[in-house]
Amino acid sequence: MGDIIRIKEKYYVLASSALADDRTRVLKYGDTFGVFNRYGDIEAVGHGQLGLFHVEARHLDRMTVRLGGKTPLLLSSTVRSDNAFLSVDLTNVDIAIENRSVIPRGVLHVYRSKFLADGVCYEQLRLANYGLGGIELPLSIEFGADYADIFEVRGTQRRHRGRLEPAQANTSTTVTLCYQGIDNVARSTTLHFSPAPDLLTGNLATYSLKLDPSEETVISLTVVCERNVPSKSQQLYAEAFAERNAQCREGIFDGCMIKTSSKRFNDWLARSEADLRMLIQGNPEGAYPYAGVPWFNTVFGRDGIITALECLWMAPSIAEGVLKYLALTQATEKIPEQDAEPGKIVHEVRRGEMATLREVPFGRYYGSVDSTPLFIVLAGGYFLRTNNIEFVKDIWPNVLAALDWIDRYGDADGDGFVEYSRKSADGLAQQGWKDSGDSIFHADGRLAEAPIALCEVQAYVCAARLSAALLARALGDLNRAQVFEKQASDLQQRFEQHFWNDELRSYVLALDGDKKQCRVRTSNAGHALLCKMASAERAALTAETLLSKRMFSGWGIRTVAAGEARYNPMSYHNGSIWPHDNALIALGLSLYGFQSKVVDILHSLYEASLHVELNRLPELFCGFHKRADSSGPTLYPVACAPQAWAAASVYLLLRAALGISIRAPERLIRFSNSALPPDVEEVTIQNLRVADAIVDLLVRRHREGVGVEVLRRDGEIEVVKSV
């Protein structure tokens, strides 16, 4: 079985292939998203994955516009650069009207625009007659709703479904579609038309258009999605448009702005910011980035934490939002069917009908081994970045509970390493970030047997203990801090003894259930550098291995080295390239001063961004070697785009290249071994806030290297550059 099929069988939603297909357009606001074809229509074609979705139910599975019974001709179709508005230009085909002359092709222009806001899809059709004579023809809008659950849309079969109620034409301008779920949730979709159609039924609105030469008319449609409540009042199109437009100008990086001397690099930065804004704005959980649209439009613990870590040096408010929500949803009891144990941080949260009824295990699913230590790492990083001791006090019980999970459940056999084995029969077999079923294996290709101790998880645990020690000291608990530091030191020594492999010149992928090494060269080893867990000598050898031809494709570091038993550059985790994986490795390399290698990684992903649509790095792409005649990296067909930790990777890559570290308790910004990629001569960082101070900084290449200049300083803050 392939990665995708196997995960589907375990009810795990993967990214949709529609995202890699230029026939689809995606909008998202909060827990509502729409997948449309290029015409702006929703049709049950292909895999049937188009639709307007709200809280993981499809509230429209059909919405089509026809002119004279014909599909219009497409002129252009685009989602605006801020991801908020879909614009489509259409015109008519030759239309023969009964008992009248033919309306020639291309005389009627239809400008179709859509956007989402607060569970509502706003749409406007502006029609203009550019012909020499008058036009009379019918315009029809057909609609319908199946209320399929998100997992059902992705192929999971259901034995029973709820009840579709008869459509209700409430007035001459309004019709409501309803579904009574088995979960006792009444879902409704109310369509408001303006002006009133000439005919309105439970699935069709028809207008008899009459347009003189040069005459225009406008039709507005508002689709309101609701659960268990009457239809909410909605704004007029123009009012909602203005409000949504204003939201697109809101910053998400706490006022911090980055610009470079390279327009193309700036385009990458602008795309990343727009994508992250899309994934954050409107979410009921607050400033928590959803993992990706369309099919990961929900909370994922690991994804949220890593995205927050990538943005932490610029925007600690994202980290605060992530920490708050994950503390709130931290497991407090042992529930095997959810892989939940006290102190464990959630992996995935779903609110749809199938999740509520436990037809799938992901209502609140805790099947990730790394989210819990990474939660502690983020807490420590947040404190260093903000010096917000009051917030630390609030989440300190959650940090202690997470540490207790590491000791009691994560290291169930007491060997000092954190392992995983799933408790839920329908859960994920692999519970690290490489969670496809064939991702953890031995040199001969045999799959590793659980319980499995992953290389990178031990590094996360070491970093978690050091972060906890930092927080304990800040809270005045010196004895506890010393215990955590001793545990981190002991783990580091055991890790060096059990995970290093001289033949690989790297750390192994994992230890299996028999404590045998999975002797495979993988990107996981790069994560061992994140908390300087590796010795200086072994860090240097690991860095050489990671940037060798077998692992570095020219577009980035592969997840698995070429030549390994299960290497496949077209696979999900066994030879592909993931931007966030590369960014984390780059940060680890920078901690050891390997700045030239950091720049190689940054430049490779920058070049990849030049070749992908909208400069948007996808979740992953194929690991084929870069060729001189290549037009860009080979895309992985089911990669999520936009995807949070891919979008945020540029910020961590910049941090690694510039060698930035911020210690708010000491009011210190340090630049160590700063470097810039070849196409960038300078980087300007404006409104970087540290505690109550603000600085503007200029990092510029000069003949002797890279220098840092303070352009503005408000408040007490020290900026230091070291080699």
Instruction: Read off the pLDDT band of 7 (50, 70, 90).
Output: very low
Choose between 626 and 425: higher pLDDT.
626
Q: What is the pLDDT of residues 498-512, one digit of tens each?
A: 999 999 999 999 999
**Is the confidence at residue 12, as pLDDT, over 80?**
no
pLDDT at 241: 94
pLDDT at 232: 64
pLDDT at 244: 95
In a domain, 541, yes or no: no
**Is the confidence at residue 10, as pLDDT, over 60?**
no
Q: What is the pLDDT of residues 380-407, one digit of tens each?
A: 999 999 999 999 999 999 999 999 999 9
Task: For residues 194 and 106, state if they share a domain.
Answer: yes
- Which of residues 191, 211, 243 is at a domain's end? 243
Task: For residues 615 and 568, state if they share a domain.
Answer: yes
Structure tokens at 514: 């028999």
Most confident stretch, 14-23, 612-621, 663-672:
663-672
Scored b (16 or more CB within 10 A) or e, 78-108 reads: ebeebbbbbbbebbbeebeeeeeeebeeebb
**Is the confidence at residue 342, as pLDDT, over 80?**
yes
Task: For residues 218 and 339, state if they share a domain.
Answer: no
The CATH number covering residue 190 comes to: 2.70.98.40
Q: How far apart are CA 656 and CA 677, in angstroms?
A: 11
Structure tokens at 2: 């392939």
Instruction: Read off the pLDDT band of 254 (50, 70, 90).
Output: very high
pLDDT at 100: 67
CA angle, 457 as apex, 424 and 8 as ends, to 5°?
Answer: 35
Q: How far apart are CA 456 and CA 453, in angstroms?
A: 9
**Range with lowest mean pLDDT among 92-106, 237-251, 331-345, 465-479:** 92-106
Task: For residues 113 and 21, state if they share a domain.
Answer: yes
Q: What is the pLDDT of residues 87-115, one digit of tens each?
A: 999 999 999 877 667 899 999 999 999 99
**Is the confidence at residue 519, as pLDDT, over 50?**
yes
Q: How many domains does the chain have?
A: 3
Q: Do 108 and 131 contact (CB within 8 A), yes or no? A: yes
In a domain, 370, yes or no: yes
Task: For residues 572 and 665, state if they share a domain.
Answer: yes
Task: For residues 482 and 590, state if they share a domain.
Answer: no
Please give the sequence-ordered ranges of beta strands (E in DSSP) within 420-563, or none if there are none: 453-454, 500-501, 506-507, 510-511, 517-518
Q: Which residue in 564, 450, 423 sits closest to 512, CA to CA? A: 450
**Is the confidence at residue 473, as pLDDT, over 90?**
yes
In a domain, 109, yes or no: yes
pLDDT at 45: 64
**Is the confidence at residue 3, as pLDDT, over 60?**
no
Domain region containing 187: 3-243
Task: For residues 418 and 341, state if they share a domain.
Answer: yes
603 CB neighbour count, 10 Å cutoff? 17
pTM: 0.93
Report the SS3 class of residue 610.
Answer: helix
Q: Which residue in 567, 576, 656, 588 sits closest to 618, CA to CA? A: 576
Task: For residues 349 and 486, state if they share a domain.
Answer: yes
Q: What is the pLDDT of residues 186-217, one digit of tens each?
A: 999 999 999 999 999 999 999 999 999 999 99
Give burial (CB, 10 Å; 0-12/13-18/19+) of 239: exposed
- Which of residues 217, 243, 269 is at a domain's end? 243
Q: What is the pLDDT of residues 121-150, one digit of tens each?
A: 999 999 999 999 999 999 999 999 999 999
Q: What is the pLDDT of residues 277-291, one digit of tens each?
A: 999 999 999 999 999
Q: What is the pLDDT of residues 428-458, one digit of tens each?
A: 999 999 999 999 999 999 999 999 999 999 9
Instruction: Read off the pLDDT band of 231 (50, 70, 90).
Output: low
In a domain, 325, yes or no: no
Choose between 174 and 531: higher pLDDT.
174
Task: For residues 98 and 34, state if they share a domain.
Answer: yes
pLDDT at 637: 84
In a domain, 515, yes or no: no
Instruction: Read off the pLDDT band of 717 (50, 70, 90).
Output: very high
Q: What distance, in Å, lies between the first and last C-alpha atoms of the chain?
A: 50
In a domain, 422, yes or no: yes
In a domain, 313, yes or no: no
**Is the confidence at residue 8, as pLDDT, over 80?**
no
Q: Once rounded to an integer, what is the mean pLDDT over residues 355-371?
A: 92
In a domain, 320, yes or no: no
Report the amino acid identity of residue 645. Answer: W
| Average pLDDT along the chain | 93
Q: Once rounded to an integer, what is the mean pLDDT over residues 592-601?
A: 97
Phi/psi of residue 699, each to 5°?
-105, 120
Task: For residues 170 and 272, state if they share a domain.
Answer: no
Q: Once rounded to an integer, what is the mean pLDDT over residues 600-614?
A: 95
**Is the confidence at residue 318, as pLDDT, over 50?**
yes
Q: Once rounded to an integer, what is the mean pLDDT over residues 320-334?
A: 98
Q: Residues 6 or more apart from 99 whose CB is under 8 A from it?
A: none
**Is the confidence at residue 23, as pLDDT, over 80?**
no
Task: For residues 177 and 39, state if they share a domain.
Answer: yes
714 CB neighbour count, 10 Å cutoff? 12
**Is the confidence at residue 152, as pLDDT, over 90?**
yes
- Which of residues 205, 226, 243 is at a domain's end? 243
Q: Once rounded to an integer, what is the mean pLDDT over residues 546-563?
A: 97
Task: For residues 262 and 392, state if they share a domain.
Answer: no
Share of the chain above pLDDT 70, in %: 96
Choose between 245 and 47: higher pLDDT.
245
CA angle, 191 as apex, 80 and 198 as ends, to 5°?
Answer: 110
Q: Do 105 and 93 contact (CB within 8 A), yes or no? A: yes
Choose between 676 and 8: higher pLDDT.
676
pLDDT at 388: 98
pLDDT at 11: 35
Instruction: Read off the pLDDT band of 694 (50, 70, 90).
Output: very high
**Is the confidence at residue 709, as pLDDT, over 60?**
yes
